[in-house]
Structure 1
Protein backbone atom coordinates (compact mmCIF):
# COMPACT_ATOMS: atom_id res chain seq x y z
CA UNK A 1 0.00 0.00 0.00
CA UNK A 2 1.52 3.30 -1.12
CA UNK A 3 0.64 6.42 0.89
CA UNK A 4 1.38 9.95 -0.31
CA UNK A 5 2.19 12.45 2.43
CA UNK A 6 1.82 16.09 1.44
CA UNK A 7 3.30 18.57 3.91
CA UNK A 8 5.88 15.87 4.61
CA UNK A 9 8.55 18.31 5.79
CA UNK A 10 6.23 20.06 8.26
CA UNK A 11 6.10 19.63 12.02
CA UNK A 12 3.30 17.05 11.86
CA UNK A 13 4.01 15.63 8.40
CA UNK A 14 7.49 14.47 9.35
CA UNK A 15 6.09 12.50 12.26
CA UNK A 16 3.36 10.99 10.07
CA UNK A 17 6.12 9.80 7.71
CA UNK A 18 7.99 8.32 10.67
CA UNK A 19 4.90 6.52 12.01
CA UNK A 20 3.95 5.11 8.61
CA UNK A 21 7.45 3.74 8.10
CA UNK A 22 7.32 2.10 11.53
CA UNK A 23 4.07 0.44 10.46
CA UNK A 24 5.69 -0.94 7.31
CA UNK A 25 3.82 1.25 4.81
CA UNK A 26 5.32 2.35 1.51
CA UNK A 27 5.65 6.11 1.81
CA UNK A 28 5.94 8.74 -0.89
CA UNK A 29 6.60 12.31 0.24
CA UNK A 30 5.60 15.38 -1.76
CA UNK A 31 8.05 18.28 -1.51
CA UNK A 32 8.54 21.51 -3.41
CA UNK A 33 12.30 20.99 -3.19
CA UNK A 34 13.23 17.31 -2.68
CA UNK A 35 16.93 18.14 -2.32
CA UNK A 36 16.22 20.07 0.86
CA UNK A 37 13.68 17.66 2.33
CA UNK A 38 16.04 15.88 4.79
CA UNK A 39 13.63 12.95 5.04
CA UNK A 40 14.51 9.27 5.72
CA UNK A 41 16.35 7.58 2.86
CA UNK A 42 13.93 4.66 2.67
CA UNK A 43 11.03 6.71 1.29
CA UNK A 44 10.36 8.06 -2.16
CA UNK A 45 10.58 11.85 -2.28
CA UNK A 46 8.89 13.45 -5.29
CA UNK A 47 8.66 17.04 -6.41
CA UNK A 48 5.29 18.77 -6.46
CA UNK A 49 3.44 21.82 -5.22
CA UNK A 50 -0.17 21.95 -3.99
CA UNK A 51 -0.48 25.42 -5.47
CA UNK A 52 0.15 23.86 -8.91
CA UNK A 53 -2.18 20.83 -9.00
CA UNK A 54 -0.91 19.54 -12.35
CA UNK A 55 2.53 19.07 -10.77
CA UNK A 56 1.00 16.36 -8.57
CA UNK A 57 0.19 13.92 -11.36
CA UNK A 58 3.46 11.93 -11.13
CA UNK A 59 3.28 11.91 -7.33
CA UNK A 60 -0.23 10.46 -7.36
CA UNK A 61 0.54 7.50 -9.62
CA UNK A 62 -0.04 4.23 -7.78
CA UNK A 63 -1.13 5.95 -4.55
CA UNK A 64 -3.97 4.41 -2.57
CA UNK A 65 -4.15 6.78 0.40
CA UNK A 66 -3.13 10.38 0.99
CA UNK A 67 -2.35 12.70 3.88
CA UNK A 68 -3.51 16.11 2.62
CA UNK A 69 -1.98 19.33 3.89
CA UNK A 70 -4.54 22.14 3.53
CA UNK A 71 -4.19 24.52 0.62
CA UNK A 72 -7.60 26.06 0.09
CA UNK A 73 -7.01 27.81 -3.23
CA UNK A 74 -6.59 24.58 -5.19
CA UNK A 75 -8.37 22.10 -2.89
CA UNK A 76 -11.00 20.98 -5.40
CA UNK A 77 -8.46 20.47 -8.19
CA UNK A 78 -6.08 18.53 -5.95
CA UNK A 79 -8.86 16.28 -4.65
CA UNK A 80 -10.19 15.70 -8.18
CA UNK A 81 -6.73 14.71 -9.40
CA UNK A 82 -6.26 12.35 -6.47
CA UNK A 83 -9.57 10.62 -7.09
CA UNK A 84 -8.85 10.40 -10.82
CA UNK A 85 -5.48 8.78 -10.04
CA UNK A 86 -7.12 6.08 -7.93
CA UNK A 87 -6.63 7.38 -4.40
CA UNK A 88 -9.29 5.82 -2.22
CA UNK A 89 -8.70 7.43 1.18
CA UNK A 90 -7.76 10.98 2.14
CA UNK A 91 -6.91 12.32 5.60
CA UNK A 92 -7.16 16.10 5.76
CA UNK A 93 -4.92 18.00 8.17
CA UNK A 94 -7.47 20.62 9.16
CA UNK A 95 -7.91 22.86 12.22
CA UNK A 96 -9.92 23.07 15.41
CA UNK A 97 -11.02 26.50 14.20
CA UNK A 98 -13.48 24.68 11.93
CA UNK A 99 -15.07 22.97 14.93
CA UNK A 100 -15.30 26.29 16.75
CA UNK A 101 -16.78 28.07 13.74
CA UNK A 102 -13.78 30.42 13.48
CA UNK A 103 -12.14 29.11 10.32
CA UNK A 104 -10.83 31.91 8.11
CA UNK A 105 -11.26 29.89 4.94
CA UNK A 106 -7.94 28.08 5.08
CA UNK A 107 -9.30 24.66 6.03
CA UNK A 108 -13.03 24.39 5.41
CA UNK A 109 -12.74 24.40 1.59
CA UNK A 110 -10.32 21.48 1.78
CA UNK A 111 -12.66 19.53 4.05
CA UNK A 112 -15.62 20.19 1.75
CA UNK A 113 -13.67 19.11 -1.32
CA UNK A 114 -12.78 15.81 0.35
CA UNK A 115 -16.38 15.25 1.48
CA UNK A 116 -17.71 15.94 -2.03
CA UNK A 117 -15.39 13.36 -3.56
CA UNK A 118 -15.99 9.65 -3.78
CA UNK A 119 -13.04 8.92 -1.51
CA UNK A 120 -13.11 7.85 2.11
CA UNK A 121 -12.27 10.91 4.18
CA UNK A 122 -11.22 11.79 7.70
CA UNK A 123 -10.53 15.28 9.06
CA UNK A 124 -7.97 15.85 11.80
CA UNK A 125 -8.66 19.17 13.56
CA UNK A 126 -5.90 20.07 16.03
CA UNK A 127 -6.34 22.91 18.45
CA UNK A 128 -3.52 25.15 19.68
CA UNK A 129 -0.11 23.54 19.03
CA UNK A 130 2.25 23.31 21.99
CA UNK A 131 4.93 24.08 19.40
CA UNK A 132 3.55 27.62 19.15
CA UNK A 133 5.25 28.43 22.43
CA UNK A 134 8.62 27.39 21.02
CA UNK A 135 8.20 29.71 18.04
CA UNK A 136 6.78 32.50 20.19
CA UNK A 137 8.88 32.34 23.36
CA UNK A 138 11.94 30.43 22.22
CA UNK A 139 14.06 33.43 21.10
CA UNK A 140 13.64 35.42 24.34
CA UNK A 141 14.09 32.32 26.52
CA UNK A 142 17.31 31.37 24.77
CA UNK A 143 18.71 34.89 24.76
CA UNK A 144 17.42 36.39 28.01
CA UNK A 145 15.67 33.67 30.03
CA UNK A 146 12.50 35.76 29.94
CA UNK A 147 8.98 35.44 28.53
CA UNK A 148 7.03 38.62 27.81
CA UNK A 149 3.31 37.98 27.49
CA UNK A 150 0.20 40.16 27.76
CA UNK A 151 -2.13 37.44 29.06
CA UNK A 152 -0.26 35.16 31.50
CA UNK A 153 -3.44 33.69 32.96
CA UNK A 154 -4.96 32.82 29.60
CA UNK A 155 -5.43 29.05 29.55
CA UNK A 156 -6.34 26.38 27.03
CA UNK A 157 -5.67 22.75 26.05
CA UNK A 158 -2.52 22.90 23.86
CA UNK A 159 -1.76 19.70 21.95
CA UNK A 160 1.49 17.84 21.28
CA UNK A 161 2.34 17.51 17.59
CA UNK A 162 2.96 13.78 18.08
CA UNK A 163 -0.62 13.27 19.23
CA UNK A 164 -1.85 14.99 16.07
CA UNK A 165 0.37 12.79 13.92
CA UNK A 166 -0.76 9.65 15.73
CA UNK A 167 -4.39 10.41 14.95
CA UNK A 168 -3.61 11.11 11.28
CA UNK A 169 -1.58 7.92 11.00
CA UNK A 170 -4.34 5.82 12.53
CA UNK A 171 -6.86 7.29 10.08
CA UNK A 172 -4.56 6.47 7.17
CA UNK A 173 -3.84 2.89 8.22
CA UNK A 174 -6.91 1.69 10.08
CA UNK A 175 -10.53 1.19 9.11
CA UNK A 176 -13.32 2.72 11.15
CA UNK A 177 -12.26 6.37 10.95
CA UNK A 178 -13.92 7.24 7.66
CA UNK A 179 -16.48 10.05 7.54
CA UNK A 180 -15.32 11.41 10.92
CA UNK A 181 -13.84 14.76 11.96
CA UNK A 182 -11.55 14.41 14.99
CA UNK A 183 -10.90 17.50 17.10
CA UNK A 184 -7.59 16.95 18.89
CA UNK A 185 -6.59 18.93 21.99
CA UNK A 186 -4.24 18.34 24.87
CA UNK A 187 -5.36 16.75 28.15
CA UNK A 188 -4.69 19.79 30.40
CA UNK A 189 -6.34 23.18 30.76
CA UNK A 190 -3.10 25.02 31.47
CA UNK A 191 -2.33 28.72 31.74
CA UNK A 192 0.56 30.43 30.01
CA UNK A 193 2.01 31.19 33.44
CA UNK A 194 2.12 27.49 34.27
CA UNK A 195 3.56 26.74 30.83
CA UNK A 196 6.46 29.07 31.58
CA UNK A 197 7.00 27.29 34.90
CA UNK A 198 7.07 23.92 33.13
CA UNK A 199 9.67 25.15 30.63
CA UNK A 200 11.84 26.55 33.45
CA UNK A 201 11.68 23.22 35.25
CA UNK A 202 12.64 21.31 32.12
CA UNK A 203 15.66 23.49 31.26
CA UNK A 204 16.72 23.70 34.91
CA UNK A 205 16.93 27.50 35.01
CA UNK A 206 14.74 30.34 36.20
CA UNK A 207 12.67 32.00 33.48
CA UNK A 208 11.22 35.38 34.32
CA UNK A 209 7.66 36.13 33.23
CA UNK A 210 7.17 39.79 32.36
CA UNK A 211 3.62 40.99 31.78
CA UNK A 212 3.38 43.54 28.98
CA UNK A 213 0.50 45.40 27.37
CA UNK A 214 -1.12 43.92 24.25
CA UNK A 215 0.21 46.88 22.24
CA UNK A 216 3.76 46.22 23.41
CA UNK A 217 3.38 42.50 22.74
CA UNK A 218 2.25 43.23 19.21
CA UNK A 219 5.31 45.41 18.61
CA UNK A 220 7.59 42.64 19.87
CA UNK A 221 5.92 39.93 17.83
CA UNK A 222 6.16 41.98 14.63
CA UNK A 223 9.82 42.71 15.29
CA UNK A 224 10.54 39.05 16.04
CA UNK A 225 9.25 37.89 12.66
CA UNK A 226 8.30 34.35 11.69
CA UNK A 227 5.38 32.76 13.54
CA UNK A 228 5.14 35.63 16.03
CA UNK A 229 4.82 38.30 13.35
CA UNK A 230 2.42 36.28 11.20
CA UNK A 231 0.07 35.80 14.16
CA UNK A 232 0.56 39.08 16.03
CA UNK A 233 -3.03 40.19 15.63
CA UNK A 234 -4.48 36.86 16.70
CA UNK A 235 -2.09 36.51 19.64
CA UNK A 236 -3.04 39.88 21.09
CA UNK A 237 -6.77 39.62 20.44
CA UNK A 238 -7.93 37.99 23.66
CA UNK A 239 -8.19 41.11 25.83
CA UNK A 240 -11.73 40.52 27.13
CA UNK A 241 -11.06 36.91 28.13
CA UNK A 242 -7.67 37.76 29.66
CA UNK A 243 -9.20 40.65 31.62
CA UNK A 244 -11.89 38.33 32.99
CA UNK A 245 -9.25 35.85 34.12
CA UNK A 246 -7.18 38.61 35.72
CA UNK A 247 -10.26 39.85 37.64
CA UNK A 248 -10.91 36.31 38.82
CA UNK A 249 -7.29 35.94 39.95
CA UNK A 250 -7.49 39.17 41.99
CA UNK A 251 -10.70 37.90 43.57
CA UNK A 252 -9.07 34.60 44.44
CA UNK A 253 -11.24 32.63 42.02
CA UNK A 254 -9.92 29.92 39.73
CA UNK A 255 -10.16 30.48 36.00
CA UNK A 256 -13.10 28.49 34.63
CA UNK A 257 -12.20 25.54 32.47
CA UNK A 258 -14.41 24.64 29.51
CA UNK A 259 -17.34 22.45 30.45
CA UNK A 260 -16.46 18.80 30.06
CA UNK A 261 -13.14 17.29 28.98
CA UNK A 262 -11.55 18.40 25.73
CA UNK A 263 -11.37 15.75 22.99
CA UNK A 264 -7.86 14.30 22.76
CA UNK A 265 -5.95 11.73 20.73
CA UNK A 266 -6.83 9.04 23.27
CA UNK A 267 -10.22 8.55 21.63
CA UNK A 268 -8.41 7.33 18.50
CA UNK A 269 -5.16 5.86 19.78
CA UNK A 270 -6.35 4.36 23.07
CA UNK A 271 -3.31 5.92 24.79
CA UNK A 272 -3.30 8.88 27.19
CA UNK A 273 -2.66 12.16 25.43
CA UNK A 274 0.72 13.79 26.03
CA UNK A 275 0.85 16.60 28.59
CA UNK A 276 2.57 19.96 28.27
CA UNK A 277 5.24 18.60 30.62
CA UNK A 278 5.84 15.71 28.22
CA UNK A 279 6.20 18.17 25.34
CA UNK A 280 8.62 20.41 27.23
CA UNK A 281 10.86 17.46 28.08
CA UNK A 282 10.86 16.51 24.39
CA UNK A 283 11.91 20.06 23.44
CA UNK A 284 14.03 21.18 26.42
CA UNK A 285 17.10 21.36 24.19
CA UNK A 286 15.32 23.74 21.83
CA UNK A 287 14.85 26.24 24.65
CA UNK A 288 18.45 25.88 25.82
Structure 2
Protein backbone atom coordinates (compact mmCIF):
# COMPACT_ATOMS: atom_id res chain seq x y z
CA UNK A 1 0.00 0.00 0.00
CA UNK A 2 1.29 3.46 -0.81
CA UNK A 3 1.97 5.98 1.98
CA UNK A 4 -1.19 7.98 1.34
CA UNK A 5 -3.44 4.92 1.45
CA UNK A 6 -1.68 3.69 4.63
CA UNK A 7 -2.14 7.08 6.27
CA UNK A 8 -5.83 7.08 5.43
CA UNK A 9 -6.36 3.59 6.86
CA UNK A 10 -4.62 4.49 10.10
CA UNK A 11 -6.59 7.70 10.47
CA UNK A 12 -9.98 6.10 9.82
CA UNK A 13 -9.66 2.87 11.78
CA UNK A 14 -12.47 0.33 12.05
CA UNK A 15 -14.25 -1.19 9.05
CA UNK A 16 -13.44 0.49 5.78
CA UNK A 17 -16.18 0.83 3.14
CA UNK A 18 -16.21 -0.45 -0.39
CA UNK A 19 -16.73 2.30 -2.96
CA UNK A 20 -19.22 1.44 -5.69
CA UNK A 21 -19.22 3.59 -8.82
CA UNK A 22 -22.22 3.51 -11.12
CA UNK A 23 -24.20 2.72 -7.98
CA UNK A 24 -27.53 4.06 -9.23
CA UNK A 25 -27.55 1.91 -12.38
CA UNK A 26 -28.81 -1.68 -12.70
CA UNK A 27 -25.50 -3.41 -12.09
CA UNK A 28 -24.07 -0.97 -9.57
CA UNK A 29 -27.26 -1.05 -7.49
CA UNK A 30 -27.19 -4.85 -7.49
CA UNK A 31 -23.57 -4.75 -6.28
CA UNK A 32 -24.62 -2.37 -3.49
CA UNK A 33 -27.37 -4.79 -2.44
CA UNK A 34 -24.99 -7.78 -2.42
CA UNK A 35 -22.44 -5.93 -0.30
CA UNK A 36 -25.07 -4.81 2.20
CA UNK A 37 -26.39 -8.38 2.43
CA UNK A 38 -22.85 -9.52 3.29
CA UNK A 39 -22.57 -6.90 6.04
CA UNK A 40 -19.97 -4.84 4.17
CA UNK A 41 -20.02 -1.03 4.62
CA UNK A 42 -20.85 0.64 1.31
CA UNK A 43 -20.02 4.07 -0.06
CA UNK A 44 -21.68 5.06 -3.35
CA UNK A 45 -20.31 7.55 -5.85
CA UNK A 46 -22.84 9.61 -7.77
CA UNK A 47 -22.98 12.96 -9.51
CA UNK A 48 -26.24 13.81 -7.76
CA UNK A 49 -26.54 12.38 -4.21
CA UNK A 50 -29.99 13.91 -3.71
CA UNK A 51 -31.38 11.74 -6.52
CA UNK A 52 -29.52 8.54 -5.66
CA UNK A 53 -32.43 6.70 -3.96
CA UNK A 54 -30.13 4.08 -2.42
CA UNK A 55 -30.87 1.91 0.64
CA UNK A 56 -30.49 3.20 4.16
CA UNK A 57 -27.00 2.64 5.46
CA UNK A 58 -25.28 3.48 2.19
CA UNK A 59 -22.97 6.48 2.42
CA UNK A 60 -23.64 8.52 -0.71
CA UNK A 61 -20.85 10.84 -1.84
CA UNK A 62 -20.74 13.27 -4.75
CA UNK A 63 -18.10 12.90 -7.43
CA UNK A 64 -17.69 12.91 -11.19
CA UNK A 65 -15.22 11.00 -13.37
CA UNK A 66 -15.02 14.09 -15.57
CA UNK A 67 -13.41 15.92 -12.61
CA UNK A 68 -10.94 13.46 -11.05
CA UNK A 69 -10.13 15.76 -8.12
CA UNK A 70 -13.80 15.58 -7.08
CA UNK A 71 -13.33 11.88 -6.28
CA UNK A 72 -11.07 12.44 -3.27
CA UNK A 73 -13.83 12.56 -0.60
CA UNK A 74 -15.36 9.33 -1.97
CA UNK A 75 -12.00 7.53 -2.09
CA UNK A 76 -10.73 8.53 1.33
CA UNK A 77 -10.52 5.48 3.59
CA UNK A 78 -11.99 2.88 1.22
CA UNK A 79 -10.86 -0.75 1.22
CA UNK A 80 -11.60 -1.38 -2.46
CA UNK A 81 -13.31 0.16 -5.49
CA UNK A 82 -15.84 -1.28 -7.92
CA UNK A 83 -15.20 0.57 -11.16
CA UNK A 84 -17.98 0.77 -13.71
CA UNK A 85 -16.87 3.36 -16.25
CA UNK A 86 -19.65 5.87 -17.01
CA UNK A 87 -17.89 8.78 -18.72
CA UNK A 88 -15.96 9.72 -21.85
CA UNK A 89 -12.46 8.21 -21.86
CA UNK A 90 -10.43 11.44 -21.62
CA UNK A 91 -10.07 11.39 -17.81
CA UNK A 92 -9.64 7.63 -17.34
CA UNK A 93 -5.92 7.87 -16.67
CA UNK A 94 -6.35 10.56 -14.03
CA UNK A 95 -9.18 8.62 -12.36
CA UNK A 96 -7.08 5.46 -12.10
CA UNK A 97 -4.20 7.50 -10.64
CA UNK A 98 -6.59 8.95 -8.07
CA UNK A 99 -7.87 5.52 -7.08
CA UNK A 100 -4.32 4.19 -6.75
CA UNK A 101 -3.47 7.07 -4.41
CA UNK A 102 -6.06 5.90 -1.88
CA UNK A 103 -6.43 2.14 -2.09
CA UNK A 104 -4.82 -1.01 -3.47
CA UNK A 105 -7.77 -3.07 -4.66
CA UNK A 106 -9.94 -2.45 -7.70
CA UNK A 107 -12.57 -4.59 -9.39
CA UNK A 108 -13.25 -3.43 -12.93
CA UNK A 109 -16.38 -4.30 -14.92
CA UNK A 110 -14.99 -4.91 -18.39
CA UNK A 111 -16.05 -7.10 -21.33
CA UNK A 112 -14.87 -10.44 -22.78
CA UNK A 113 -12.82 -8.85 -25.56
CA UNK A 114 -9.90 -11.19 -24.84
CA UNK A 115 -12.07 -14.32 -25.00
CA UNK A 116 -11.25 -16.55 -28.00
CA UNK A 117 -14.79 -16.88 -29.33
CA UNK A 118 -16.11 -15.21 -32.50
CA UNK A 119 -19.03 -13.63 -30.65
CA UNK A 120 -16.62 -11.54 -28.56
CA UNK A 121 -14.02 -10.80 -31.21
CA UNK A 122 -15.96 -8.43 -33.48
CA UNK A 123 -15.08 -4.70 -33.58
CA UNK A 124 -16.65 -2.95 -30.59
CA UNK A 125 -15.85 0.60 -29.39
CA UNK A 126 -16.83 -0.25 -25.82
CA UNK A 127 -14.42 -3.19 -25.79
CA UNK A 128 -11.68 -0.87 -27.04
CA UNK A 129 -12.39 1.50 -24.14
CA UNK A 130 -12.35 -1.37 -21.66
CA UNK A 131 -9.00 -2.59 -23.01
CA UNK A 132 -7.52 0.88 -22.62
CA UNK A 133 -8.71 1.15 -19.00
CA UNK A 134 -7.31 -2.32 -18.25
CA UNK A 135 -3.91 -1.15 -19.47
CA UNK A 136 -4.12 1.87 -17.18
CA UNK A 137 -5.02 -0.35 -14.23
CA UNK A 138 -2.12 -2.71 -14.97
CA UNK A 139 0.33 0.20 -15.16
CA UNK A 140 -0.94 1.65 -11.87
CA UNK A 141 0.18 -1.29 -9.75
CA UNK A 142 -3.30 -1.75 -8.26
CA UNK A 143 -4.35 -5.21 -7.10
CA UNK A 144 -7.01 -5.83 -9.70
CA UNK A 145 -9.76 -8.25 -10.60
CA UNK A 146 -11.29 -7.97 -14.06
CA UNK A 147 -14.89 -9.08 -14.59
CA UNK A 148 -15.93 -9.96 -18.14
CA UNK A 149 -19.66 -10.69 -18.37
CA UNK A 150 -21.10 -12.07 -21.58
CA UNK A 151 -24.63 -11.36 -22.77
CA UNK A 152 -26.97 -10.17 -20.02
CA UNK A 153 -30.26 -12.03 -19.62
CA UNK A 154 -31.94 -8.66 -19.03
CA UNK A 155 -31.19 -7.61 -22.61
CA UNK A 156 -34.17 -9.61 -23.80
CA UNK A 157 -36.50 -7.43 -21.77
CA UNK A 158 -35.28 -4.44 -23.73
CA UNK A 159 -35.53 -6.37 -26.98
CA UNK A 160 -38.73 -8.39 -26.62
CA UNK A 161 -40.77 -7.50 -23.53
CA UNK A 162 -43.14 -4.99 -25.13
CA UNK A 163 -43.65 -7.21 -28.18
CA UNK A 164 -44.32 -10.38 -26.16
CA UNK A 165 -46.59 -8.66 -23.65
CA UNK A 166 -48.58 -7.21 -26.57
CA UNK A 167 -49.14 -10.73 -27.90
CA UNK A 168 -47.12 -10.14 -31.05
CA UNK A 169 -44.49 -12.45 -32.55
CA UNK A 170 -40.82 -11.88 -31.85
CA UNK A 171 -39.14 -10.98 -35.15
CA UNK A 172 -35.41 -11.55 -34.83
CA UNK A 173 -32.34 -12.54 -36.83
CA UNK A 174 -30.06 -15.57 -36.41
CA UNK A 175 -32.65 -17.87 -34.88
CA UNK A 176 -30.15 -20.67 -34.22
CA UNK A 177 -27.26 -18.64 -32.76
CA UNK A 178 -26.72 -19.43 -29.09
CA UNK A 179 -25.50 -17.39 -26.15
CA UNK A 180 -25.27 -18.13 -22.42
CA UNK A 181 -27.11 -15.20 -20.81
CA UNK A 182 -26.04 -14.27 -17.30
CA UNK A 183 -28.39 -13.07 -14.60
CA UNK A 184 -27.09 -9.68 -13.43
CA UNK A 185 -27.65 -10.76 -9.83
CA UNK A 186 -24.96 -13.41 -10.32
CA UNK A 187 -22.60 -10.85 -11.81
CA UNK A 188 -23.24 -8.56 -8.84
CA UNK A 189 -22.67 -11.38 -6.36
CA UNK A 190 -19.31 -12.21 -7.94
CA UNK A 191 -18.35 -8.52 -7.98
CA UNK A 192 -19.23 -8.14 -4.30
CA UNK A 193 -17.30 -11.26 -3.32
CA UNK A 194 -14.17 -10.08 -5.12
CA UNK A 195 -14.43 -6.68 -3.45
CA UNK A 196 -14.32 -7.94 0.13
CA UNK A 197 -12.84 -11.44 -0.06
CA UNK A 198 -9.12 -12.12 -0.35
CA UNK A 199 -7.72 -14.36 -3.07
CA UNK A 200 -9.03 -12.66 -6.20
CA UNK A 201 -6.08 -10.41 -7.05
CA UNK A 202 -5.11 -11.03 -10.65
CA UNK A 203 -8.43 -12.71 -11.37
CA UNK A 204 -9.63 -12.42 -14.97
CA UNK A 205 -13.17 -13.76 -14.77
CA UNK A 206 -15.33 -14.41 -17.82
CA UNK A 207 -18.89 -14.69 -16.51
CA UNK A 208 -21.76 -16.39 -18.33
CA UNK A 209 -24.92 -18.19 -17.48
CA UNK A 210 -24.75 -21.97 -16.99
CA UNK A 211 -26.29 -23.01 -20.30
CA UNK A 212 -26.29 -22.19 -24.00
CA UNK A 213 -29.62 -21.19 -25.51
CA UNK A 214 -30.45 -20.04 -29.03
CA UNK A 215 -32.65 -17.00 -29.53
CA UNK A 216 -35.57 -19.27 -30.39
CA UNK A 217 -35.01 -21.33 -27.23
CA UNK A 218 -34.95 -18.18 -25.09
CA UNK A 219 -38.29 -17.12 -26.55
CA UNK A 220 -39.72 -20.57 -25.85
CA UNK A 221 -38.56 -20.38 -22.23
CA UNK A 222 -40.29 -17.03 -21.81
CA UNK A 223 -43.45 -18.51 -23.32
CA UNK A 224 -43.33 -21.33 -20.78
CA UNK A 225 -42.91 -18.85 -17.94
CA UNK A 226 -45.81 -16.63 -18.98
CA UNK A 227 -48.06 -19.59 -19.82
CA UNK A 228 -48.59 -19.12 -23.54
CA UNK A 229 -46.57 -19.83 -26.68
CA UNK A 230 -44.72 -16.88 -28.20
CA UNK A 231 -44.48 -16.94 -32.01
CA UNK A 232 -41.01 -16.43 -33.46
CA UNK A 233 -40.28 -15.16 -36.97
CA UNK A 234 -36.75 -15.07 -38.31
CA UNK A 235 -35.55 -11.92 -40.07
CA UNK A 236 -32.62 -11.55 -42.40
CA UNK A 237 -29.94 -9.10 -41.25
CA UNK A 238 -31.18 -6.49 -43.73
CA UNK A 239 -34.78 -6.93 -42.56
CA UNK A 240 -33.57 -6.47 -38.98
CA UNK A 241 -31.76 -3.27 -39.94
CA UNK A 242 -34.94 -1.92 -41.52
CA UNK A 243 -37.06 -2.99 -38.54
CA UNK A 244 -34.80 -1.14 -36.10
CA UNK A 245 -34.19 1.93 -38.25
CA UNK A 246 -34.73 5.06 -36.17
CA UNK A 247 -35.29 3.00 -33.02
CA UNK A 248 -31.83 1.62 -32.28
CA UNK A 249 -28.50 3.29 -33.06
CA UNK A 250 -27.15 1.81 -36.27
CA UNK A 251 -23.67 1.07 -34.79
CA UNK A 252 -25.30 -1.07 -32.07
CA UNK A 253 -27.36 -2.96 -34.64
CA UNK A 254 -24.31 -3.59 -36.82
CA UNK A 255 -22.25 -4.70 -33.82
CA UNK A 256 -24.88 -7.25 -32.78
CA UNK A 257 -25.39 -8.53 -36.31
CA UNK A 258 -21.64 -8.93 -36.78
CA UNK A 259 -21.32 -10.84 -33.50
CA UNK A 260 -24.27 -13.12 -34.19
CA UNK A 261 -23.20 -13.70 -37.77
CA UNK A 262 -19.66 -14.62 -36.75
CA UNK A 263 -21.07 -17.05 -34.18
CA UNK A 264 -23.10 -19.15 -36.62
CA UNK A 265 -21.97 -22.74 -36.40
CA UNK A 266 -20.06 -22.20 -33.14
CA UNK A 267 -21.24 -23.44 -29.73
CA UNK A 268 -21.91 -20.62 -27.28
CA UNK A 269 -19.12 -19.82 -24.85
CA UNK A 270 -20.08 -21.10 -21.38
CA UNK A 271 -18.02 -20.79 -18.19
CA UNK A 272 -18.41 -22.10 -14.65
CA UNK A 273 -16.89 -18.99 -13.09
CA UNK A 274 -20.00 -17.93 -11.17
CA UNK A 275 -20.18 -21.32 -9.44
CA UNK A 276 -16.41 -21.41 -8.95
CA UNK A 277 -16.38 -18.05 -7.13
CA UNK A 278 -19.66 -18.29 -5.22
CA UNK A 279 -19.83 -22.01 -4.53
CA UNK A 280 -23.41 -22.18 -5.83
CA UNK A 281 -24.67 -22.66 -9.41
CA UNK A 282 -25.37 -19.68 -11.61
CA UNK A 283 -29.04 -18.98 -12.19
CA UNK A 284 -30.51 -20.44 -15.36
CA UNK A 285 -32.28 -18.33 -17.95
CA UNK A 286 -35.56 -19.94 -16.86
CA UNK A 287 -34.92 -18.90 -13.25
CA UNK A 288 -34.13 -15.37 -14.42
CA UNK A 289 -37.31 -15.18 -16.52
CA UNK A 290 -39.47 -16.55 -13.71
CA UNK A 291 -38.18 -13.91 -11.31
CA UNK A 292 -37.69 -10.94 -13.62
CA UNK A 293 -40.15 -10.99 -16.52
CA UNK A 294 -42.69 -8.22 -16.07
CA UNK A 295 -46.17 -8.83 -17.40
CA UNK A 296 -48.53 -5.89 -17.96
CA UNK A 297 -51.06 -5.16 -15.23
What TM-score do you get using the length of structure 2 for normalisation? 0.84
Aligned to 1:237: 258
Shift, 1:75, TM fit: 2.1
Corresponding residue to 2:287 among 266, 274, 278: 278
Aligned to 1:155: 178
The answer on whether the counterparts of 1:218 and 1:236 sit within 8 Å (CA) in structure 2 is: no
Give the 3-state SS of the residue equivalent to 1:17 in structure 2: helix
Q: Which runs of 5 or more residues in structure 1 are unaligned?
A: 246-255
**Deviation readout 1:13-55 (Å, 9 max, x if unpaired):** 1111001111111111111222322211221112222233222
239, 254, 257: which one aligns with 2:267: 257
* Distance in 1 between residues matched to 2:242 and 2:49, nearest whole Å: 36
| Within-5 A mapping of 1:28-177 | 28-70=43-85, 71=87, 72-84=89-101, 86-100=102-116, 101-102=121-122, 104=125, 105-177=128-200
Worse-superposed segment, 56-65 or 123-132:
56-65
C-alpha deviation, 1:149, in angstroms: 0.1
Residue in 1 that maps onto 2:30? 15
Secondary structure of the structure 2 residue equivalent to 1:99: coil
Aligned CA RMSD, in angstroms, stands at 2.2
Aligned residues of 2:157 and 2:293 also touching (Cα < 8 A): no
Shift in Å at residue 77 of structure 1?
0.9
1:210 aligned residue: 233
Q: State the alpha-carbon separation in 2 of the partners of residues 239 and 190 from structure 1.
A: 13
Query: Greater shift after overlay, 50-59 or 173-182?
Result: 50-59
Name the SS for the 1:280 alignment partner. Answer: helix
CA pair 240-172 structure 1, distance change in 2 beyond 3 A: closer
Distance in 2 (CA, whole Å) between partners of 1:234 and 1:64 is 37
Q: CA 1:117 to 1:4, structure 2 compared with 1: closer, same or farther past 3 Å?
A: same
On the 8 A contact 1:131/1:160 being kept in 2, the answer is yes
Residue 253 (structure 1) aligns with: none
Distance 2:159 2:240 in 1: 11
Q: 1:154 touches 1:241 (CA, 8 Å); kept in 2?
A: no
Unmatched 5+ stretches in structure 2: 1-15
**How far is the alpha carbon of 1:241 from its aligned partner?**
4.6
